[in-house]
Amino acid sequence: MSKKQLFTLEFPVRCSPSILYEFLSTTTGLQEWFADKVDEWEGVISFSWNGGVPDKAKVLEKEQDKFIRYKWLHSDKNEYFEFRIAKTEISNQTILVISDFAEKNDIKDQSQLWSYQIKELFHRLGS
């Protein structure tokens, strides 16, 4: 049984949900900001960084322009990482909500890694 805990991060985004969703759900979009190389073969997505051995994931669930949930093939069955696109009620601002799992002692480091990745995403979006 994993000791990993679910944590979430929220990032305000200045772009439409449909454009953001493309960057979160397609191999081309993910390769722009998330990994150096992203490929898909028979429903399995391979993510490579710095020419290393690829990490592989599957899409568990998705809804166009709303969310996409991935599961690393090496992770426990109840673990996933998810990108959810929300809108604030008052200002109608787009919010990217990231859910992921990490050991309690690693949540801060994982949060910083996500923040770095999201800065790269915002750079690609021109946001």
Residues 6+ apart with CB under 8 A from 100: 6, 7, 8, 9, 81, 82, 110, 114
Q: According to the model, what pLDDT value does residue 3 have?
A: 83
Superfamily of 5-125 according to CATH: START domain (3.30.530.20)
Q: According to the model, what pLDDT value does residue 1 have?
A: 53
pTM of the model: 0.92
Contact 47, 30 (CB under 8 A): yes
Cα distance between the two ends of the chain: 40
Question: Mean pLDDT per 10-residue run, the chain (127 residues)?
Answer: 87 94 97 96 94 94 97 94 93 94 96 96 91
Instruction: Give phi and psi for 61, each to the nearest 5.
Output: -150, 155
Q: According to the model, what pLDDT value does residue 36 have?
A: 95
Which of 1, 32, 16, 41 shows the shortest CA–CA distance to 94?
16
Q: According to the model, what pLDDT value does residue 2 have?
A: 57
Separation CA 92–CA 16 (nearest Å): 11
Q: According to the model, what pLDDT value does residue 122 have?
A: 95
Angle at 63 between CA 61 and CA 67, to 5 degrees: 80
